[in-house]
Amino acid sequence: MSETPAASTIRWEQDGTGVVTLVLDDPGQSANTMNAAFISSLEAVADRAEAERDSIRGIIITSAKKTFFAGGDLRDMIRIGPADAEQAFRKGLDIKRDLRRIETLGKPVVAALNGSALGGGYEIALACHHRIALDAPGSRIGLPEVTLGLLPAGGGVVRSVRLLGITDALLKVLLQGRRYDPRRALAEGLVHEVAATEEEMLAMARAFIDAHPESRQPWDTEGYKIPGGTPAHPKFAANLPAFPANLRKQLAGAPYPAPRNILAAAVESSQVDFETAQVIEARYFTELVTGQTAKNMIQAFFFDLQAVNAGRSRPEGVEPRQVRKAAVLGAGMMGAGIAYACARAGIEVVLKDVSLEAAAKGKAYSEGLLAKALAKGRTTEAERDALLARITPTADPRDLAGCDAVIEAVFEDPALKHKVFQEIEGVVAPDALLCSNTSTLPITLLAEGVERAADFIGLHFFSPVDKMPLVEIIKGERTGDEALARAFDLVRQIRKTPIVVNDSRGFFTSRVIGQFINEGVAMVGEGIDPASVEQAAAQAGYPAKVLSLMDELTLTLPRRIRDETRRAVEEAGGSWPGHPADEVIDRMVDEFGRTGRSGGAGFYDYDESTGRRTRLWPGLREHFTTGATIPFRDMQERMLFAEAIDTVRLLEEGVLTSVADANIGSILGIGFPGWTGGVLQYINGYQGGPAGFAARARELEAAYGERFAPPRLLLEKAAAGETFTDG
């Protein structure tokens, strides 16, 4: 065996039969990335392969790390500014050139994917003639660049289009950034074979090399046609116009350029020769990587998410603990979902409601979810049975004996919540963690109902629990560090993302989403066409339109919370500012009896039999719309600013203590548009940074009211030229 120089991140191992194994193994790093060392190693390897071509029978590319290859170096990318465009463009071309040299060596090249091959990893695999994936648990394959506001620029667009055809490449891999497990990747045509063991994978690779001594890519063969045709093909041409339209619908025109660039790169690169196609891909990539949106998204979905999950907000020095048996109190919509999430993570669950029947109904919710998963091949009968066996429905508090965590999800009523905790405190394990899933009630107040207030904490899930990745942990005044750490561990145990906030009415998420909704409703009250309000929310990138979201939440619940909060504020001697939305909500409920979707009528009409939304209620136009208009940009920014400004106030008030938690919580919990990188990153990335944002806030304040006045902390950041970071 011979070896390349030590600094290389690609090890060259050649056996006596002429098979070269290129082992990706960045020294001193936990994962392989497309950093400078990799780029120079790739060039060295391509040089050597060409020089020693005659003694090489075939090449296997694999990795010594757990993941095959992690993709681009994001630390690097986040620093690339417009001035670096030319350099970024050239660097991209270098990688493409060297992969292409290996691809066209005339020798069989096999990707042996020992672990996840996402982004750059799958692009390396695409440059190989044969792709074998090891069926390793958790292993994922795909091109998720779009989820970071980028496009795959290592030939990923050019080759996936040539491999799968434009339509499939866009829909299956490029536009949504889907990550497939190895078996799905096989079914979708992303890999050729799946191996059960590493030995089998390498044997398959050698078998391919033996059988294909002169491999080349299908797209390098004479007369190769892209599957499904190119835009020049009449059949394809007929379908093409639908693409941008569908895309616009999907993205609702958010200021989010990646999908548009991907679409353009895919279509344009399909019409030209391979080398020109690579240049087109590089140009569209450069535009994205030098722009603000990719930076926002990398900051949020990589750095912030990592910081949050790694436990930035978890108290140090508390031993990690796993929950074995959890009591879920209340088997309604939330309790049923929480029971499922816990059971899925292997936790024994006792699901308690007022009657066995009600508890069993809660368990039936898991049965329904599992039946769907089974039908889609996402679970097996054995897994389903094991999960269901872990959920015990009951009405008898004695069944909660031995539970080491309690999650309460009964009606939103403090007296009832006090009562159910009293009922069970003596039954569960003496040091059981006590959690409430209240969406708004102060944790400190609820803790008055339990003996061990230090073990009492808020664990705020989002609906539907099985889909929503976030849990907001709320620390009451008397909550101890141990309880906080255990709650954090529990959230991680059920594979969700925890953010931590201090106690306050509505916490972070419920309070801030309220600002969004109020702003939308206020615009209806100003006489603006409700369809435009919905359009503005969608085009700002919100996943749910504002009035439809209000209907989902019901108009009565936020109203009740509002009235209770006002009472609390006034009782404490404060003055309640009110909101222009209040009057609209009151009229909707009191005058027109429209309480939201569950009541069958809200801002929208609903089909009686299916419960589906049919149209905006025509009465809105009659009773509210005056033909008033304001600039579209103002409509969008009123919603975005209302949320961002209130988040800054929450930082000032000490409810929020982490910028990363705020950014991630806003995107994963309450649908703040992902292209912004989160509610505080939105301020950082706003034109002119926090100072530009503050200046714009003043304009909105002058035009629409005091609630847009820039808070003190924002002005301080603006004056100091600082951004919101965790430091």
Binding residues for ligand NAI (CB under 6 A): 329-335, 352-354, 358, 409-412, 416, 420, 437-439, 460-463
DSSP state of 327: E
Tokens 């797209």 sit on residue = 219
> For ligand NAI, which is the closer residue by CB, 407 or 484?
407
Write a three-state SS string for 617-669: CHHHHHHCCCCECCCHHHHHHHHHHHHHHHHHHHHHCCCECCHHHHHHHHHHH
229: left (phi over 0), alpha (psi -120 to 50) or beta: left
* Alpha-carbon distances, residue 443 vs 53, 191, 238, 478, 685 (angstroms): 69, 51, 59, 9, 34
Task: Give, in order, the Cα–Cα distances in Å from 395 to each of 335, 362, 404, 413, 547.
Answer: 14, 12, 19, 19, 38
CB of 176 to ligand NAI, least distance (A): 26
Q: Can you tell me the distance from the alpha carbon of 615 to that of 594, in angstroms, rounded to the nearest whole number?
A: 14
Of 438 and 595, which CB lies nearer to ligand NAI in the complex structure? Answer: 438
- Taking the complex as a whole, the smallest distance from the CB of residue 395 to ligand NAI amounts, in Å, to 8
Q: Which of 624, 621, 637 minimizes the C-alpha distance to 703? A: 637
Q: Which is nearer to ligand NAI, 240 or 333 (CB)?
A: 333
d(CA 279, CA 517): 45
Nearest position to ligand NAI, beta carbon = 332
Place of tokens 């929020």: 656
Residue 664 CA, chain-centre distance (Å), reads 9
Q: C-beta of 439: minimal distance to ligand NAI in Å?
A: 4
Q: Which residues pair with 588 in a beta bridge?
A: none
Measured from the CB of residue 334, what is the shortest distance to ligand NAI in angstroms? 3
Catalytic residue among 145, 281, 534, 637: 145
Contact 384/411 with Cβ under 8 angstroms? Answer: no
- Are 481 and 319 contacting, i.e. CB atoms less than 8 angstroms apart? no
> Helices (H), strands (E): how many in the chain?
31, 19
The SS3 assignment for 536 reads: helix
Per-state percent for the chain, helix, strand, coil, to nearest 5:
50, 15, 35
Copy the structure tokens of residue 110: 């096999």
Q: Rounded to whole angstroms, what are the CA distances from 183 to 175, 188, 205, 491? A: 21, 9, 18, 29
Cβ atoms of 240 and 231 closer than 8 Å: yes
Per-residue DSSP letter, 601: B
Residue whose structure tokens are 């009235």: 563
Kindly tell me which of 149 and 397 has the beta carbon lying closer to ligand NAI: 397
Tell me: cis bond preceding 464? Omega within 30 of 0 counts.
Answer: yes
Minimum gap (Å) between residue 574 Cβ and ligand NAI: 24
**Is residue 103 annotated as a catalytic residue, yes or no?**
no
Q: Compute the Cα dihedral for 97, 100, 102, 106 and give only its sign.
A: negative
Which residue stretches of 529-624 are H helix?
530-539, 546-553, 556-571, 581-586, 618-623
| CB of 336 vs ligand NAI, minimal distance in Å | 8
Nearer to ligand NAI among residue 220 and residue 412 (C-beta): 412
Q: Which residue has the tokens 């009035």?
A: 547
- Residue number, 37 or 339, with CB nearest to ligand NAI: 339
Type of residue found at 245 = A
> How many Å apart are CA 421 and CA 457, to the nearest integer?
12
Closest separation in Å from C-beta 564 to ligand NAI: 12
Residue 369 CA: distances (Å) to CA of 337, 358, 362, 377, 490: 10, 18, 12, 12, 22
Write down the least CB distance from residue 58 to ligand NAI, Å: 56
Nearer to ligand NAI, 198 or 448 (CB): 448
Q: Which of 52, 103, 123, 381 is catalytic?
A: 123
Minimal distance, residue 147 CB to ligand NAI, in Å: 26
CA–CA distance, 225 with 229 (Å, rounded to integer): 7
* Cβ distance to ligand NAI smaller for residue 207 or 557: 557
Number of residues that make up the chain:
727
Q: What are the phi and psi torsion angles at 270 (to 5°)?
A: -80, -15
Q: How far is the CB of 556 from ligand NAI (least distance, A)?
A: 13
CB of 449 to ligand NAI, least distance (A): 13
Q: Which is nearer to ligand NAI, 437 or 539 (CB)?
A: 437
Nearest CB to ligand NAI, comparing residues 224 and 411: 411
| Shortest Å distance, C-beta 349 to ligand NAI | 14
Q: Map residue 146 onto helix, strand or coil.
A: helix
Q: Of 465 and 523, which has the nearer Cβ to ligand NAI?
A: 465
Closer residue to ligand NAI, CB minimum distance, 333 or 373:
333
Indicate which residues carry an active-site annotation. Answer: 123, 145
